[in-house]
C-alpha cells in the first residue's frame, strides 16, 4: 500500500535499476554512458521527491508565501550543483571516448579488452 503511495520513489528505483543494467550488460561505451546518465537523473529524482510536501509551493518567499507550505530547499540546492557536475563528468567521459576511438577504432568494450596495446605498449614490452 505504501508502495503505491510512494510511486515517485518506486519509479526512481526502477530507473536506477534500468540504468545499472545498461551499464553492466551493454558493450557499447556510449550506451553505458547513457545508462550512467539515467542512473544520475534517477538519484536526483529520488532526492527531489524526498523533499516534496503535499500541496507544497516552491521555496521562494514572494507575496507573503507561507513558509510552512514550502517544499524542502536543501535537496534542490544539492541537486542543482549535482546536475552541473553530472554534465561535466559526461563531457570528460565523452572526450575520453573520442580519444579511445581514435586510438583503437572501436567502442565495444569486449573488443577493447582483447585489443593489443598500440605501438607504445609493444615497444614497452620489448624494452
Partner 1 sequence: MKKVAALLFISALAVLLLYVVASMPPMGDPDNPTATHVIPRYLERAEEETHTVNVVTGVILNYRGYDTMGEVTVIFCALAAVLAVLGRERRGVIHGFVDRSEVPASVIVKTMVRFMVPFIILFSVYTILHGETSPGGGFQGGAVIGGSMIIFTTIFGLYESSRRIPLKVRAPLEGAAVMGFFLVGSLGLVGGGNFLTYAWPRVAQGLHPSLVVWLTVLVEVGIGLGGAMVLTSILFAMIREEEEIAPAS
Partner 2 sequence: MKMGTALNLVLILLLLTTALLAVTARDLLAAVVVFSVYSLIMALMWQRLQAPDLALTEAAVGAGVTTVLFVITIFKTRRREEE
DSSP helix/strand/coil, 108: strand
Residues that bind partner 1 (CB under 8 A): 2-3, 5-6, 8-10, 13-14, 16-17, 20-21, 24-25, 49-56, 58-62, 67-68, 70, 72-78, 80-81, 83-85, 87-89, 91-92, 94-96, 98-99, 102
Residues that bind partner 2 (CB under 8 A): 7-8, 11, 14-15, 18-19, 21-22, 26-28, 30-31, 33-35, 37-38, 41, 44-45, 48-49, 51-53, 56-60, 71, 76, 79-80, 83-84, 86-87, 90-91, 94, 97-98, 101, 106-108, 111
| 80 vs 51: CA distance, rounded Å | 14
CB 39, CB 16: distance < 8 Å:
yes
DSSP helix/strand/coil, 52: coil
| 34 vs 88: CA distance, rounded Å | 14
Report the partner that residue 3 touches, choosing among partner 2, partner 1, none (CB closer than 5 to 8 A by kind): partner 1
For residue 71, give the C-alpha cell. 517544499
Amino acid at each position: 500500500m505504501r508502495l503505491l503511495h510512494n510511486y515517485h520513489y518506486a519509479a526512481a528505483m526502477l530507473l536506477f535499476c534500468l540504468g545499472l543494467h545498461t551499464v553492466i550488460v551493454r558493450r557499447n561505451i556510449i550506451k553505458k554512458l547513457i545508462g550512467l546518465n539515467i542512473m544520475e537523473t534517477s538519484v536526483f529524482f529520488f532526492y527531489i521527491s524526498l523533499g516534496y510536501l503535499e500541496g507544497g509551493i516552491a521555496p521562494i518567499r514572494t507575496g507573503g508565501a507561507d513558509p510552512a507550505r514550502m517544499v524542502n530547499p536543501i535537496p534542490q540546492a544539492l541537486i542543482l550543483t549535482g546536475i552541473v557536475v553530472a554534465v561535466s563528468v559526461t563531457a570528460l567521459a565523452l572526450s575520453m571516448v573520442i580519444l579511445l576511438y581514435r586510438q583503437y577504432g572501436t567502442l565495444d568494450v569486449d573488443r577493447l579488452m582483447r585489443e593489443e596495446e598500440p605501438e607504445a605498449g609493444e615497444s614497452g614490452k620489448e624494452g
